[in-house]
Amino acid sequence: MNRNIKIVISILLLFSLVLTTGFANINNEPQTVYRVYLKGKSLGLIKSKTSFENYIDKQQEEIKTKYNVNKVYVPTDLDIEKEITYSNSLKTNKEVYDEIKDISPFTIDGYIVKIRSVDTKDKKASAQRIYVLKKEIFTNSIEKTVRSFISDEDYENYANGTQKEIEDTGKIIEAIYIKNKITIKKAKIPVNKEIYTSEEDLSKYLLFGTTADQAKYTIKEGDTIDDVAFNNKISIEEFLIANPDLQDENSLLSPGQVVTLGILKPQFSLVEEDHVVKREQKKYTTETRYDNNQLVGYEKVLQAGVAGENKVTQKIQKVNGETVNAVTTATEVIKPPINEIIIKGGKKSSYSEYYGGGYGTVVATRGQWGWPASCSSISSPFGWRWGVLHDGTDINGCGYGSNIFAAQSGTVVQSSFKYDNGQYIIIDHHNGYYSLYAHLCNGCRYVSPGAYVEKGQVIGGMGQTGFATGVHLHFAIWRGYPYRGGVALNAMQFY
Here the contacts of 83-86 (C-beta below 8 Å, separation 24 or greater) are 83/32, 83/33, 83/34, 83/35, 83/45, 84/30, 84/31, 84/32, 84/33, 85/30, 85/31, 85/33, 85/45, 86/26, 86/27, 86/28, 86/29, 86/30, 86/31
Please say which residue of 104, 136, 164 terminates a domain: 104
Q: Are 236 and 386 in contact (CB under 8 A)?
A: no
Would 12 be classed as within a structural domain? no
- Domain range enclosing 90: 19-104
Q: What's the number of domains the chain is made of?
A: 4
Tell me the H-state helices in 22-125: 49-59, 61-67, 93-100
Would 5 be classed as within a structural domain? no
Q: What CATH number did the domain enclosing 237 receive?
A: 3.10.350.10
Q: What percent of the chain has pLDDT over 70?
A: 89
Residue 123: per-residue pLDDT:
55
Could you tell me the CA-to-CA distances from 353 to 347, 361, 433, 493 in Å, in that order? 10, 13, 21, 32
Region at 232 (left for phi over 0; alpha for psi -120 to 50; beta for the rest): alpha
Q: What is the dihedral of CA 466, 468, 470, 476, to 10 degrees?
A: -100
Would 63 be classed as within a structural domain? yes
Rounded Cα distance, 345 and 211, in Å = 64
Instruction: Give the distance from CA 340 to its chain's centroid.
Output: 41
Q: Which residues of the chain have pLDDT under 50?
A: 1-24, 351-362
Tell me the H-state helices in 355-473: none
Residue 27: per-residue pLDDT:
56
- Residue 103: DSSP 8-state: T
Residue 324: per-residue pLDDT:
86
Would 14 be classed as within a structural domain? no
Same domain membership, residue 346 and residue 488:
yes
Same domain membership, residue 249 and residue 134:
no
Residue 237: per-residue pLDDT:
87
**Which pLDDT tens digit goes with each residue over 392-426?**
999 998 889 999 999 999 999 999 999 999 999 99
Rounded Cα distance, 411 and 414, in Å = 9
Entry pTM: 0.77
End-to-end Cα, the chain, rounded Å: 116
Work out the mean pLDDT of the chain and round it to a whole number: 88
Would 254 be classed as within a structural domain? yes
Same domain membership, residue 431 and residue 303:
yes
Rounded Cα distance, 157 and 487, in Å = 44
Would 9 be classed as within a structural domain? no
Would 240 be classed as within a structural domain? yes
Same domain membership, residue 129 and residue 274:
no
Determine how many CB atoms are found less than 10 A away from the CB of residue 192.
Answer: 11
Same domain membership, residue 228 and residue 123:
no
Angle made by CA atoms 380, 413, 403, in degrees to the nearest 5: 50
Please say which residue of 73, 104, 135 terminates a domain: 104
Would 380 be classed as within a structural domain? yes
Could you tell me the CA-to-CA distances from 378 to 95, 180, 473, 492 in Å, in that order? 69, 27, 10, 10
Same domain membership, residue 117 and residue 82:
no
Rounded Cα distance, 63 and 159, in Å = 40
Residue 367: per-residue pLDDT:
61
Q: What CATH number did the domain enclosing 420 receive?
A: 2.70.70.10
Same domain membership, residue 288 and residue 275:
yes
Same domain membership, residue 231 and residue 99:
no
Count Cβ atoms within 10 A of the Cβ of residue 142 and give its class: 0-12 exposed, 13-18 middle, 19 or more buried. Answer: buried
Same domain membership, residue 428 and residue 300:
yes
Same domain membership, residue 466 and residue 445:
yes
Residue 349: per-residue pLDDT:
58
Same domain membership, residue 87 and residue 133:
no
Beta-sheet strand order (sheet of 340-347): 286-295, 340-347, 299-303
Strand boundaries in 213-365, DSSP class E? 215-218, 258-261, 270-282, 286-295, 299-303, 308-319, 322-335, 340-347
Residue 359: per-residue pLDDT:
44
**Which pLDDT tens digit goes with each residue over 130-180?**
999 999 999 999 999 999 999 899 999 999 999 999 999 999 999 999 999
Same domain membership, residue 422 and residue 309:
yes
